[in-house]
A and B are shown apart, each in its own frame.
Chain A
Amino acid sequence: MNSRLFPVVVLFLVTAFLIGPFFIIVAASVSGGETLAFPPQGLSLKWVAKVFQVESFRESFAMSMLLAIGGTGAALVLGIPASYALSRYRLPFGETIRTVVALPIIVPGIIVGLALLRYLVVPFRFNITLALFLAHTALVLPYAVRVVSASLNNLRSDIEEAAVLLGSSRAGAFFRVVMPNIRSGILAAFILGFVTSFNQVPVSLFLSGPGVRTLPIDMLSYMEITYDPSVAALSALLAFMSIGIVFIAERFLGFSRYV
């Protein structure tokens, strides 16, 4: 094949494969018909409207938002000091700490969820929402440490030493010199953590109970009983939400270098 045409064809096909399904969901969700179909049978926003009327979707959306914001916040509260200590000092057991903190990314989420259900929720009658919160925090922690460490490593450590020599306290040097300089890294970690937690399924599979369910789990079970386009509409809305977040993040942070 022509060597100039080949890359264009490859990029077209790959983009169509990666992004195409998204357009199909959007098209299916504005269908006027009763069942899922493409091309859509007439135009209507009734399925988009229905998404907002299903009560369980509203509840599980609130739950997922809470977990994503709270879990990522907690992971950053744990992760920022840890990244700071790991990047600035040669700690005893430093490698062990790094590995333990990074493990939740390697071990399949479904196992974490099952283990928490079996050894925390069942024997101690532990609150499921709280267990979900802990699981999501553990899940986001590796991303928080990785992204924050990366931006700390790009920051020269002599400016904080200068601040301390000029009379600032150590905590003061951290909050007034280091924090402002790694703000965009922290924001990128928050966005990555939020998206990871919000879209997470396997960890939450076993951790659901009466009235406690995350949105993706709710979508999975809704899919099993109905075949109407409302899940497509919800998927499209969620995709638009993600695109909005990524677009804003890319605009202000150059987000893709952190992923």
Chain B
Amino acid sequence: MFHSRAEALALALPAAVFAAVVFLAPVVILLAEGFRNAEGWSVAAYTGFLSDPLNRTVFLRTLRLGATVTVVAAVIGYAAAFAIVNLPPTAKGRMIGLVVLPLMISPVARTYAWIVILGRTGIVNQALTSVGLTDEPIRFLFTETAVFVGLLQLFLPLMILALISALENMPKDAIPAARVLGANWFQVFWKVILPLTKEGLVIGGTLVFTGSLTAYITPAILGGSKVLMLETLLFQRVTVANDFVSASVIAFILIVMSFAANLLLKRLATARSKR
């Protein structure tokens, strides 16, 4: 090669140093703060945080929403990706474009649409009242359901795109072969499609799950202070109570959960393939 290694390293270092100083160092200091008290290292902040029932509720709710959004996105994602992969080339390209498009639109704008749809005078309530199913508008906003729907709409494209590329890489004759040999559609999915696309499922699942865990905009707009998730709780603790210790604890929990989700999904993928 032409460059010396030192020269090549000099090209890569500015970016690495920048990320380390601007990003890594402040975050590490912030996380360390949660493990310290007046006497030195301690986990008192964590036991204190988890002993508050409100914090526990928010923690469990975040986990529950993350898991349900991921599972539902995977189910819808498989159906949609399978349908898209089997389209003729032009239609397939257009359909992928339609799936990518929402990712480019501001999440604030996308979430705001649900206020128009689910609000007191929104479409759903108007439809329900005009049919006579309800006399009073039903409260959809500021419920867990609203946050769930918002998160699903936000992150479903990531799952679909991951599954499309997984399905495209699958051997074309695997499904017809299984069908000829007498497998029903359920068996085809469970024994052929799922094992062959599990890497795509892991990528999509990690993106959707961590995205939902760390979402701020959706719970802020559609959940408000009634349906707090970890990020909105963090924001509230800092702005209302100047409570940086709780913020550090929440930050650590979020990072650990993101990494754990990634590892767990990878483990699940390899465990299935060994059989």
A and B associate in one complex: yes
Q: Which of B26, B79, B247, B259 contacts A119 (CB 8 A)?
A: B26
Q: Which residues of A contact B18 (CB under 8 A)?
A: 78, 137-138, 141
Q: Does B112 contact A (CB under 8 A)?
A: yes
Q: Mark A211-229, 1 if CB is under 8 A from B, else 0.
A: 0000010011001000000
Do A18 and B22 touch (CB < 8 A)?
A: no
Q: Which residues of A contact B247 (CB under 8 A)?
A: 114
Do B109 and A110 touch (CB < 8 A)?
A: no
Do B83 and A18 touch (CB < 8 A)?
A: no
Q: Mark B92-122, 1 if CB is under 8 A from A, else 0.
A: 0001111111111111111011111101011
Q: Which residues of B contact A220 (CB under 8 A)?
A: 108, 217, 220-221
Do A103 and B108 touch (CB < 8 A)?
A: no
| Min CB gap A162→B, angstroms | 11
Q: Does B20 contact A (CB under 8 A)?
A: yes
Q: Which residues of B contact A78 (CB under 8 A)?
A: 14-15, 18
Given contacts A111-B27, A111-B30, A232-B116, contact A11 B95 (CB under 8 A): yes
Do B12 and A232 touch (CB < 8 A)?
A: no
Q: Does B49 contact A (CB under 8 A)?
A: no
Q: Does A86 contact B (CB under 8 A)?
A: yes
Do A11 and B121 touch (CB < 8 A)?
A: no
Q: Does B46 contact A (CB under 8 A)?
A: no
Docked Cα-Cα span, A243 to B98, in Å, equals 10
Q: Does A252 contact B (CB under 8 A)?
A: no
Do A231 and B12 touch (CB < 8 A)?
A: no
Q: Which of B27, B99, B214 contacts A115 (CB 8 A)?
A: B27
| Min CB gap B7→A, angstroms | 8
Q: Does A183 contact B (CB under 8 A)?
A: no
Q: Which residues of A contact B3 (CB under 8 A)?
A: 88-89, 170
Q: Does A166 contact B (CB under 8 A)?
A: no
Do A100 and B24 touch (CB < 8 A)?
A: yes
**Nearest A-chain residue to B114, judged by Cβ:** A21
Do A81 and B100 touch (CB < 8 A)?
A: no
Q: Does B44 contact A (CB under 8 A)?
A: no
Q: Which residues of A contact B98 (CB under 8 A)?
A: 15, 18-19
| Selected interface stretch from B132-140, B154-162, B187-195, B267-275 | B154-162
Docked Cα-Cα span, A116 to B23, in Å, equals 8
Do B2 and A89 touch (CB < 8 A)?
A: no
Q: Does A69 contact B (CB under 8 A)?
A: no
Docked Cα-Cα span, A235 to B112, in Å, equals 8
Best-surrounded residue of A18, A106, A223 (most CB of chain B within 10 A): A18
| Min CB gap A81→B, angstroms | 4
Q: Does B5 contact A (CB under 8 A)?
A: yes
Decide if the interface of chain A is mainly helix, strand, loop or mixed: helix
Do B109 and A236 touch (CB < 8 A)?
A: yes
| Residues of A participating in the B interface, judged by any CB pair closer than 8 Å | 6-8, 10-11, 14-15, 17-19, 21-22, 24-25, 28, 35-38, 78-79, 81-82, 84-86, 88-89, 91-92, 94, 96-97, 100-101, 103-104, 106-112, 114-116, 118-120, 134-135, 137-138, 141, 145, 161, 164, 170, 195, 198-199, 201-202, 205-206, 216, 219-220, 223, 231-232, 234-236, 238-239, 242-243, 245-246, 250, 255-256, 259
Beyond A91-B5, A219-B108, 17 extra complex contacts between A and B, CB < 8 Å: A7-B87, A11-B80, A11-B95, A18-B101, A36-B121, A78-B15, A79-B15, A88-B3, A100-B24, A106-B210, A118-B30, A138-B23, A202-B214, A220-B221, A239-B109, A242-B106, A259-B100
| Residues of B participating in the A interface, judged by any CB pair closer than 8 Å | 1-3, 5, 8-9, 11-16, 18-20, 22-27, 29-30, 76, 79-80, 82-84, 86-87, 95-110, 112-117, 119, 121-123, 126, 153, 156-157, 160-161, 210, 214, 216-217, 220-221, 231, 234-235, 238, 244, 247, 251, 254-255, 258-259
Can you list 18 A-B contacts with CB-CB less than 8 angstroms, sorted by A residue number? A11-B80, A14-B76, A14-B80, A21-B110, A21-B113, A22-B105, A22-B109, A24-B113, A28-B116, A36-B115, A82-B11, A103-B23, A106-B210, A111-B255, A116-B26, A118-B30, A138-B19, A141-B19
What are the 6 tightest A-B residue pairs by CB atom distance, in nearest-first order?
Answer: A235-B109, A21-B113, A7-B83, A115-B26, A82-B15, A108-B214
